[in-house]
Structure 1
């Protein structure tokens, strides 16, 4: 028997929201499918963040930053936040519902690489969302299959903007950051070797993480073993990874190689990746 649904506070229920089923949970939040009278024919998602499980600094910095960024972005390949309601104990975030879960969920279910044609469709959506973000001065900083949600008609939406940033370096218009963040397996080489007081271009780092994500989607393996940090960094610096599956097309191998460029200055951008030869063909 499933757990009973929590009762929504009046500040939330009076807006026409109702929870229908628990669909997931994290360390400090729970996710439900929900309905909303403003969109009577559409299932939405409700992320409920419990403030008692996080510290005040996290609320002020990470949560408020995530909500501010999400509400500033409007694109078909970025998760849409419809409404945010905060009470003294919780935050209720109502957003689009991803019927297909995440790409990471799909990989875990099939336990094998996804086909090139499927990944190509997914990646077009992901890069379209990334290009829009970067053009609007936002970097995601936690690009990985777990944060690629699959909606209706297999439309992929970028989600989880807890590490996202939009502070520009005034001298060059780049998103320069000095904080290590993201998921270790997908981290760009420049973040791993970041020294105290140094900065990196967060947009370029997003593309490296996309390269690791692409590799994982088409090979169901990581390009670098992170168990030995120094060896991992050495391999990242020399682009020493193996495209084990000989069935991968040459143009796909080229895109992976371009994304995993250890030099941020020569690494392919999201805008250039959109027109890459592999993504330009339909087969």
Structure 2
């Protein structure tokens, strides 16, 4: 779960309240929950350990069912749980157990002690070409498994969802918007009409709210992620959506104007092909994974040596003494700082929508626009604060 998302009620303290019955289940399964790591839209992530193996740390994502809209519980949560159960890959965060108890879902997963790549970029004011290619190849490897083996798309690719373990191996996480998007019977991609994800990583089709190929949307977001790794800024000015769309479609002139002199021509060509506004001409994840320059620059021939060297020089992004300073609660930003009439109107509409759905006086479909608009409000009000050092 990304710490950029909103904060839930009930699990905001540094420790978590667990009822005796749930505590007994955890004891039987040898889990012990420790301190909080970060807050999320519908829950919180905690550090945990296996009691019979104290040296083995895990993380537990605690989802608050009461904080979710009926639409999310019915549509997105089952997909996320399905993705977590099915995805087993060296570059995807591993899940050990999923336990439902007392209006909560506890997801015990691999502990990623190195933080996320977004935090590394912010903390180090950028990233080296070699390291960017290594991590980008690792994440692309995980995404290719998701796309080609599971026929599933992620739909929220961003640097915040690319986590690092203690050996600084990059792994893909957070499958809240994941879904199977390919019909094997017809051999066709299932176009998506759910406009989800994170605004700075949107492809043009998402901005235009037209049906889009979710696999190609993932590739676009990977392109944005790689651009940030190399250039230490976003490729498009996302605070102004009409301008952002204009920049995207002024292709390839605008994207070429955004490269610095330090970016090699091979990297520029790769990024241009990943961020082609025509999704039919955009690269697939397989095309990206087999790019010769990328493999040559992020060569794995001396990979273990590189990782051992990196472990000595990369600061731990989530070092405990710095955690409280690093954590940002977007929902608090919305409630306390987004006081404009427009923001308040969107929040009121969103809450009223949930009330109508819960009382069954409306369907989630009839309220979908309110939900999407509210998420856009989160993007516009919160993302600039969190990404101010990157733009």
Alignment pair present for 1:261 and 2:261: no
Given that 2:99 and 2:107 are in contact with CA atoms closer than 8 Å, whether structure 1 keeps it comes out as yes
Q: Report the alpha carbon displacement of residue 20 of structure 1 after superposing the two structures with TM.
A: 2.0
Given that 1:211 and 1:256 are in contact with CA atoms closer than 8 Å, whether structure 2 keeps it comes out as yes
- TM-score scaled to structure 2, two decimals? 0.67
Divergent runs of 4+, >6 A? none
Unaligned runs of 5+ in 2: 1-12, 299-391
* Residue of structure 1 equivalent to 2:137: 124
Q: Relative to structure 2, which stretch is displaced further, 246-255 or 39-48?
A: 39-48
Q: How many residues align?
A: 278
C-alpha separation in 2, matches of 1:34 and 1:79: 15
Could you say which structure has the higher helix fraction? 2
C-alpha separation in 2, matches of 1:118 and 1:146: 17
- Spell out, residue by residue over 1:212-265, the C-alpha distance to the aligned partner (whole angstroms, 9 max, x if none): 111111112111112332221121112312334201111111111111111111
* Residue of structure 2 equivalent to 1:71: 85
Residue in structure 2 matching 1:134, options 147, 158, 161: 147
Alignment pair present for 1:216 and 2:231: no
Mapping 1:57-206, distance limit 5 Å: 57-110=71-124, 112-135=125-148, 136-169=150-183, 170-195=185-210, 199-206=211-218
* Residue of structure 1 equivalent to 2:237: 225
C-alpha separation in 1, matches of 2:199 and 2:14: 34
* Residue of structure 1 equivalent to 2:370: none
C-alpha separation in 1, matches of 2:288 and 2:44: 35
* Residue of structure 1 equivalent to 2:368: none
- TM-score scaled to structure 1, two decimals? 0.92
Q: Report the alpha carbon displacement of residue 5 of structure 1 after superposing the two structures with TM.
A: 4.3
Greater RCO structure (CA 8 Å; 6+ sep):
2
* Residue of structure 2 equivalent to 1:11: 25
- Classify 1:125/1:44 alpha carbon distance in 2 versus 1 (closer, same or farther; 3 Å): same
C-alpha separation in 2, matches of 1:81 and 1:103: 20
C-alpha separation in 2, matches of 1:102 and 1:230: 30
- Classify 1:27/1:177 alpha carbon distance in 2 versus 1 (closer, same or farther; 3 Å): closer
Alignment pair present for 1:248 and 2:259: no
Unaligned runs of 5+ in 1: none
Instruction: Kindly report the root-mean-square deviation, in angstroms, between the aligned alpha carbons of the 2 structures.
Output: 1.8
In our comparison, the structure showing a higher alpha carbon Rg is 2
* Residue of structure 2 equivalent to 1:31: 45
Q: Report the alpha carbon displacement of residue 55 of structure 1 after superposing the two structures with TM.
A: 2.7
- Classify 1:55/1:228 alpha carbon distance in 2 versus 1 (closer, same or farther; 3 Å): closer
